[in-house]
Structure 1
Amino acid sequence: MAAAPDPQAELIEFIASFQHDPLGFVLAAFEWGSGELAKFDGPDEWQRGILTELGEKLSAGEISAMEAVQIAVASGHGIGKSALVAWLILWAVSTFEDTKGVVTANTENQLKTKTWAELAKWYRLCITRDWFVFTATALFSCDVEHEKTWRIDMIPWSERNTEAFAGLHNKGKRILLVFDEASSIPDLIWEVSEGALTDEGTEIVWCCFGNPTKNTGRFRECFGKFRHRWSTRQIDSRTVAMTNKAQLAKWVADYGEDSDFVRVRVRGVFPSASSNQLIGSDAIEVAQKRSYKIELFERAPDILGVDVARQGDDSSVIARRKGKIAFPLRQMRIPDTMRVASQVAIAGDACDMGACFVDATGGYGVGVIDALRGMGRDPVEVYFSGKAIDPRYFNKRSEMYFELAKWIESGGQLPDDVELAEELAAITYTFQGDKFRLCDKDDIKAAIGRSPDKADALALTFAFPVASRKRVLPGVSDGGRRRVLDYDPMASI
């Protein structure tokens, strides 16, 4: 007599068939069209697209040869990303024994009240709910022998406690890492989390979701310099079935299609400028694509700006600007001030230098200044905290950067330099009374993980006005003298 079918064994076999089919799992694991899901027939189109892409990537080869699958989604509001996160978690633990994972978000409140609360809902509706225990901080196997090795943990990030992210290893099994509202998760957490990607022969899925609120940081870089590592999508809330179209239309009418408010909250596009960003990323990108012939500025003075390293991780940088052209920067990790001064002297001799501005803040550049003077050069020492020429600015540093911003907007050409672009995009400002004040250098370093040495060097070329060269127009007289005209390097072309 044949043995009676074992429903649990059949369910296990059925669910296991979706190991590399997240969309199939989501469609099978919930009772779409009935009960709480009576009005829904399955995931939205954009959710299906991501689930399908993930399945295709996981199916592309053997686990031993597989690279991590990294997916980043920037979106407007209300598109159902928390639901997708919940489905990914339940698929990951249900279809692969001893899966381990970590879920984090920009704040503990977001993690508890949004991300984890949504998981609680879908866990309750899932046909595999009896296999797992759901708590306020974890989802883990009911099998006591696997509760430590088969689990997803909800962990608020902390820059002072990164062990949970650094220790996410699960060799030969599956790892799931989810960042919700990823724009505001510090770069340090991203960097530490990358340690999980070193496990060989392991299925690794790293998914990051969020509104694109910042133009700096690792989430932005998923769509920029690291885009070759990530599968990226930007979802406009208006294309998603479940969103409140009337509210979205009001936002567009009130703020405008191209406003940063609509870009971030509706279109899923990174802002052209943060609310207090000095130089918009769009303006930087355009400036890096400009290409002038140097002959157009042959009468403009060559100006050098020199930012001197303050500590071991910083670099000394030489910037050269001529009219509307900023040339590729010279970056040096040289602790010897004499050697730095020699490089500055060489750079000055290679062009027809009209001025050389050296950062003397904190005394770091004084040795370079003295050495240059000993070589017969005439550098100008600049103190970032010094008094601005224009009373609208809080200090010299603020004034220099605002002059740099105006130069970019008026047609300045920047070198194609990823680090420079990132540093410039990180510059923000506020008001000190009635004066413009730039954010502190330490704030920029905290945001991008390094000192903005390249941006500072370029800003130094705007420290003080530099007398433009004179030109004589042949055959034009003025009272028996040739007329001498000033060249304006800022004039439009």
Structure 2
Amino acid sequence: MSDPVVELVKSLAQYAKDPLTFVYFAFPWGQAGTSIERMKGPQPWQVKILMDIRDGLKTPDQVIQEAVASGHGIGKSALVSWLILWAISTHEDTRGVVTANTETQLRTKTWAELSKWFGIFRARILFKYTATSIYSMDPKHEKTWRIDAIPWSKENTEAFAGLHNQGKRILLIFDEASAIDNRIWEVAEGAMTDKETEIIWCAFGNPTRNNGRFYDCFHRDRNFWHTMQVDSRTVEITNKDLIAKWAQQYGEDSDFFRVRVRGVFPNSSSLQLISTDLVEAARGKKIRKESISFAPVIIGVDNSWTGSDPAAIWLRQGLWSQRLAKIPKVSNDNIMGAMVAKFEDEYHADAVNIDQGYGTGLYSWGLAHGRNWNLIPFGARAPKEGFLNMRAYMADQVRQWLRDGGCLPDDQTICDDLTMAYQISPSDTGVLKLRSKKELEDEGIPSPNDGDALMLTFAIPVVKKGMRRQRMQANTEYKLF
């Protein structure tokens, strides 16, 4: 009587050079009661990648390098999972590393998807799956036959430098590769030098940046990579209603749509919510007083308390905006409160909106002095659907305002804040989500105090308090044509 485990190993060995046929063999496609009961097999773009790897394995000592830039929801993580399971189960002592743009992406998206496919994998009895690795159940091969999920760090590149496996197989996968530091790419290349070794290096992701090594795969280094750009609209499993909403909200030529749907690299230097073109068109733009006299006057206050960030106070009336003050951190609410109150009275402001982050004391000062100011929590629920929070909503309101003809002072700081500090982050639900300030600070992008103060003027609807406030005082410094 044959040993079922031995028969399983023999079956897997047949697919050592054919990842496409392996995928059809390894999972119960269309089987009732499974998570893939409504799926017949890979999507056409996935088939092409699997076939390209299969064809590349026919040439000894060829490093197979695949780069896929894609829109959202095309089944990228599923393909990554199949490649991991194929690589480890069809070649003895395979070694591999999988990394992603962030540890959260790696843990909650990439590796979590592997858990789903491992659960229905026909050969799962041969391997052990954990939160950070998959490896052989044979104790003798536990350290030599494994693939690990490793967050990258530019200060610690040893995991990528030591990925050698002479005479066997190496799998290296970069997920959301646009944001992986160039140094990790450079160190990883050192593992591509083993002779008589099957080496497969795959880089996947939304093309969020028009620079860096992922971008180079499609441009400078295109002769060394097999590249593919996948438009979400061409893939059967994508959410077409969501794509249509994005097209209407952002426009098909916007960087958001280019990156998240078309799989095309952005025109801007990064995935900006607010484009450089919009900001430059508004910079130093003049406007007549009478064209804004009907609009309410709103003051936004981004307070400071600790750290080195200054406080910023901005005014907006219709399409006009200006900075009223920018001062070093203020820990005395009496000083800051008196300044805000002075501006409120001087410009007959119809609303004063304060960032709740460091503004609760300032808000309390206002209440104690008869001021009806508004405290705005950036993390609160947005007043309309399609936004993760108030921060995303207000930033998008600024973008719309600029598109409608908003005017900015001729000032580099506010321009930098608007173009650099409000970057779109991937969201599975389709809502607009911005990268956190912590992420931006880690990349050397300063806190957008001016940008946040301007954003606060869009937090809530405001109506002018009365006819007596329809004109600004004669000493306002608005520029005229």
1:209: which partner in 2? 204
Aligned to 2:38, the other structure's residue is in SS state coil
1:158: which partner in 2? 153
1:431 CA displacement: 7.8
Asked whether the equivalents of residues 70 and 232 of structure 2 are also in contact (C-alpha less than 8 Å), the reply is yes
C-alpha distance after superposition, 1:445-468 (max 9, x if no partner): xxxxxxxxxxxxxxxxxxxxxxxx
Q: 1: CA distance between counterparts of 2:411 and 2:2? A: 80
1:199: which partner in 2? 194
Is the aligned partner of 1:122 residue 2:117?
yes
Q: Aligned match of 1:236 in 228, 231, 243?
A: 231
Aligned to 1:10, the other structure's residue is in SS state helix
1:142 CA displacement: 0.5
Is the aligned partner of 1:173 residue 2:168?
yes
Is the aligned partner of 1:20 residue 2:17?
yes
Asked whether the equivalents of residues 70 and 260 of structure 2 are also in contact (C-alpha less than 8 Å), the reply is yes
Asked whether the equivalents of residues 394 and 432 of structure 1 are also in contact (C-alpha less than 8 Å), the reply is no
Is the aligned partner of 1:266 residue 2:271?
no
Aligned to 1:271, the other structure's residue is in SS state coil
Q: 2: CA distance between counterparts of 1:433 and 1:125? A: 52
1:154 CA displacement: 0.6
Q: 2: CA distance between counterparts of 1:279 and 1:199? A: 47
Counterpart AA for 1:258: D
Instruction: Give 1:6-405 correspondences, 5 Å limit.
Output: 6-34=3-31, 35-36=33-34, 37-59=36-58, 61-62=59-60, 66-273=61-268, 274=270, 275=272, 392-394=410-412
Aligned length: 290
Aligned to 1:145, the other structure's residue is in SS state helix
C-alpha distance after superposition, 1:54-80 (max 9, x if no partner): 101112x23xxx221000000011111
Asked whether the equivalents of residues 190 and 218 of structure 1 are also in contact (C-alpha less than 8 Å), the reply is yes
- Rg (Cα) greater in structure: 1
1:190 CA displacement: 0.5
Q: 2: CA distance between counterparts of 1:203 and 1:218? A: 23
Q: 2: CA distance between counterparts of 1:431 and 1:26? A: 48
Q: 2: CA distance between counterparts of 1:176 and 1:208? A: 11
Q: 1:279 to 1:18 in 2, by over 3 A?
A: farther
Asked whether the equivalents of residues 99 and 106 of structure 2 are also in contact (C-alpha less than 8 Å), the reply is yes
Q: 2: CA distance between counterparts of 1:163 and 1:6? A: 41
Counterpart AA for 1:191: E
Aligned to 2:153, the other structure's residue is in SS state coil
Instruction: Give 1:446-485 correspondences, 5 Å limit.
Output: none
Counterpart AA for 1:199: D
Asked whether the equivalents of residues 86 and 119 of structure 1 are also in contact (C-alpha less than 8 Å), the reply is yes
C-alpha distance after superposition, 1:118-161 (max 9, x if no partner): 00111111011011011111100000000000000010001111
Q: 1: CA distance between counterparts of 2:104 and 2:249? A: 29
Asked whether the equivalents of residues 135 and 146 of structure 2 are also in contact (C-alpha less than 8 Å), the reply is yes
Counterpart AA for 2:56: K
C-alpha distance after superposition, 1:345-366 (max 9, x if no partner): xxxxxxxxxxxxxxxxxxxxxx
Q: 1: CA distance between counterparts of 2:412 and 2:242? A: 40
1:249 CA displacement: 1.0
TM-score, structure 1 length as denominator? 0.56
Counterpart AA for 1:189: I
State the percentage of identical aligned residues: 58
Aligned to 1:227, the other structure's residue is in SS state coil
Asked whether the equivalents of residues 56 and 62 of structure 2 are also in contact (C-alpha less than 8 Å), the reply is no
Aligned to 1:246, the other structure's residue is in SS state helix
Q: 1: CA distance between counterparts of 2:139 and 2:276? A: 55
Aligned to 2:111, the other structure's residue is in SS state helix
Asked whether the equivalents of residues 209 and 266 of structure 2 are also in contact (C-alpha less than 8 Å), the reply is yes
RMSD of Structure 2 on Structure 1 (CA): 2.6
Unaligned runs of 5+ in 1: 281-390, 399-427, 435-493
Unaligned runs of 5+ in 2: 279-408, 417-444, 452-481
Q: 2: CA distance between counterparts of 1:124 and 1:27? A: 16
**Segment of structure 1 superposing worse, 25-34 or 271-280:** 271-280
Counterpart AA for 1:238: R
C-alpha distance after superposition, 1:288-317 (max 9, x if no partner): xxxxxxxxxxxxxxxxxxxxxxxxxxxxxx
Runs of at least 4 residues off by over 6 Å: 428-432
Aligned to 1:140, the other structure's residue is in SS state strand
Q: 1:13 to 1:256 in 2, by over 3 A?
A: same
TM-score, structure 2 length as denominator? 0.57
